[in-house]
Structures are given as C-alpha cells and as structure tokens.
Copies of this chain bind each other. A is one copy, B any other.
Amino acid sequence: MRYRIHADTVLTVDDAFHIFQPGQLTWEHGVIVSVGPQDSDASPVDQVINMAGGIVMPGFYNGHNHAAMTMLRGLADDSPFFEWLETHIWPREARLSAGDIYAGTLLAAVEMIKSGTVAFADMYFEMDAVARATELSGLRGWLCRGLIGNEDSDFAKLDQSIRFAQDWQSKASGRIVPMLGPHAPYTCSPDYLARVAQLAVENDLGIQIHLAESASEMEQMQQLYGKTPIGVAWEAGLFESRLVIAHGVHARPEDLPYLQGMSGGIVSCPISNAKLGNGIMPYAMLAGHGIPLGLGTDGAASTNSLDMFLEMKAMAWMQKLSQGRPEAFQARTALTMATRGTAEILGSPGGVLAPGRPADFIVVDGTHASMTPQIDAVSNVVYAATGADVLYTVVQGEILMAEGLLTTLDEKAITEEARNRLEHLLG
C-alpha cells in the first residue's frame, strides 16, 4: 500500500529545515517515498489523506523514560527528594509485578501515541513485559534494564540483560532495540561499569545511563573518585559504545573532551530537572562544542506527563531564562532536539522527513483558536501546541492514531486496568 498525505504545512526538520506550505508526504512499506510541495509527486497511491489546516512533522523521539512509572504518577509530588525516593517510590517499585509493568507501559504508550511520540528510550525492570507492551503498541523502543551494580550478585543481572538483548534484537519488525542500562555511577561500582562497557562492545549494544543529574552526585563522585560522573563513565570505557546520557545538568568544561566525537549524546529532561530542583543543562556550552543533544521526559512519577510538546517549551523557556536573552534559544532548536536530535543519539535514521527515512510522523491540528493565526508554524508547534493537538501518529508507516482514535491500543481498558492495579501498589 502506498499512502499520501496532503497538509497545509510540512515541517521536514531536514538539513535545510525545509518547510512546504502546502505540502505532501508519500510513504510505502514503512519508508518515506517523497516529501515536498503539494504537487511534487504524481505517482499513483492507494490512499490519500487530506489534512486541511494540518501540520505534518516528524514524530517525537523521547530519549529518556521509565514508562511504567506512569503507575506512580503524582505520588508524593513536591516532597523532599530523598523522602520522595526512599519513602514513597522505592517501596512501591518493589511491589511492581511483571503484570503491573506491562500495564504501566501500555498506559504510557497510550499517552505517548496520543501526544505524538513515535519512539522512546526506556530504562526499567521486567523488560520482557516492557518489550511486549512496546511490540503491541506499535511504537519504537530502545529498551534496557536499569542495573544497580555494587555487589558480586549484581553481575548475574548482566546475563539477563544480554539474554533480553538476544531475545528481542530481531523481533517486532525491528522496532525494538535492546541496550544495556547501568543506572548511574553512584549506584554502580567502577568495576561493574567496566564490565558493562566490555559486554556492550562484545555484543554490539548501546548503553543508557544517568550522568551529572544532581549536585549531590557531582560531590559524591568528586569525593569517591576525584572525577566528574562523565569522567567516571569515560574511565570505565562506556564511551567505546553508543552512549545515551540522560540529564547532563551538571556537565562541565572538563567533560567536553570526553563528549566531543562521542557516539550517542546527551538527552536533556528539562521538566524533571526543574521539578526536582536539579538545575538547567548548559545548552550553550554543549551545543557550542558540537555535542549531540536530544530531549526526553524522564518517568511520569517525576515529570507527571509524557507530552514532548511540554519538554520543548520547558527547554526553550529555561535556556532563555538562564541566559537572560530571548534570542539565546530558538524554537527550531527545540523541535530538532525533540525529533532528529534524539533519533541521531539513539542511532536511528528517524526524526527527519526525507525520502528513504522511516515513515515516522505525526499530524498536528493547526485549526483551533489556540493555534491561530499561524504566522510561524514552528513557533506555534513549539510554544502554543500541546499533545492534545495531535491528530495522527504514524510509525513505520502504520497509523497508530487517526483523527484522535487509537488503532493498536484500547485506552478505556488500559486506564481501567491501571486503576485496578493501584490498590495493591499503594495499600
């Protein structure tokens, strides 16, 4: 089947940041055939979708998530950080069964599809359940088990991660990419990180890790190793594979030699970083040195929402704020980070609308009062739109949402299931 969509605006996020008004996008077998002005492709198609007032753009790549934590959305919000984590989150996480995590990941998938996300990177546990939910949803997932590694017994969990990788590598039409997920340098010993680095190289796997998230982590790493967290990760050999660094709030000039030329990059989670009081990622320093930068939501227990439109807003607002100049950060940069930027960090050709790229895109409704007038479509998408404006979400050419209706998942059943499981989690 070959499809074509016509819309008032097509935002490509390609090298020249082409915008076609009006424009068309044609796709077949999960891949983009052509994109351009309205009449730029006359080839016959099986189905045409006309979206007057619509904005076609790449779907979001959410570069850092703990999807199943939607089950704990809003739990003990606004508490002091360690009280929140140790008294509220960890005891509930200890109760999460594989079934809870499957249900929570489906809940997250509904929210992601509805708000225009096509791919997510996830670090959690019971990853078979996460992978099954991802497979069912139609989303792309870069999935890893979060590894705590301090004792000898923790090394055994690495075997499980390798087995998970072998199990899922070629399943779900290539939509699932297994990775290794050492949690952080304050929860994994240097020996453990080195073992992860070695296994990643041997098994050709990428790595996800939290680095330089909080001031207390910086202090602790300085005291223990006399290094920054990014320095500790380098020393352990993590930069020898694709490395997806979540946060990087406290990245420092001395980290730049490690970061320059790296495979992977830094995924900023501006809402989580603000809401937990951790700070603002030094965008200007990092971008100025060519470090690849992307965007993610972090888990819904801290961020409360998986809406990437909110992350783009938060990213732009906080950078302008921290630099004291409105011109310090541009809407196009936020859009690029949330799509192509994150896709490149994950090693995906997605996040760009161009021939030969994956047919991963969304359609945003530009007709509502809140999106009118449309003087600048990018500005409207970044600063005015929210996830509720998304009408279509398409992944690998498959329509996961059409006119707001989900095709792979049953929202009512999934929200009900999540509510039913709450009692045993909170009780």
Q: Which A residues fall within an 8 A CB radius of B?
A: 70-75, 77-81, 84, 107-108, 110-111, 114-115, 215, 271, 273-280, 300, 303-307, 310, 313-314, 316-318, 320-321, 323-331, 367-370, 372-376, 379-380, 383-384, 386-389, 411, 414-415, 418-419, 422, 426
Report Cα–Cα, A304/B215, bound state, in Å: 33
Contact in complex: B317, A383 (CB < 8 Å): no
Give the Cβ gap from A95 to chain B, nearest Cβ, in Å: 14
Contact in complex: A375, B307 (CB < 8 Å): no
Choice from B74, B279, B313 contacting A383 with Cβ under 8 Å: B74
- List chain B residues, Cβ under 8 A from A307: 370, 386
Contact in complex: B327, A383 (CB < 8 Å): no
Contact in complex: A75, B327 (CB < 8 Å): no
- List chain B residues, Cβ under 8 A from A277: 320-321, 323-326, 328
Report Cα–Cα, A325/B279, bound state, in Å: 10
| A-B residue pairs in contact (CB < 8 Å), sample of 12 | A73-B373, A73-B380, A74-B376, A74-B383, A78-B327, A79-B326, A81-B325, A81-B326, A84-B326, A107-B372, A300-B384, A388-B389
Choice from B81, B276, B317, B415 contacting A274 with Cβ under 8 Å: B317
- List chain B residues, Cβ under 8 A from A74: 373-376, 379-380, 383-384
* A74, A84, A110, A300 pick with most chain B CB within 10 angstroms: A74
* A71, A115, A300, A376 pick with most chain B CB within 10 angstroms: A376
- List chain B residues, Cβ under 8 A from A80: 325-327
Give the Cβ gap from A332 to chain B, nearest Cβ, in Å: 9
Give the Cβ gap from A22 to chain B, nearest Cβ, in Å: 15
Give the Cβ gap from A99 to chain B, nearest Cβ, in Å: 15
Give the Cβ gap from A413 to chain B, nearest Cβ, in Å: 11
Give the Cβ gap from A391 to chain B, nearest Cβ, in Å: 12
Contact in complex: A411, B368 (CB < 8 Å): yes
Chain B residue at smallest Cβ distance from A419: B373
Contact in complex: B373, A71 (CB < 8 Å): yes
The 5 A-B pairs of least Cβ separation, nearest first, read A388-B388, A304-B383, A74-B379, A110-B369, A274-B317
Given contacts A80-B326, A271-B317, contact A419 B372 (CB under 8 A): yes
Contact in complex: A379, B77 (CB < 8 Å): yes
Choice from B275, B325, B370, B411 contacting A369 with Cβ under 8 Å: B411
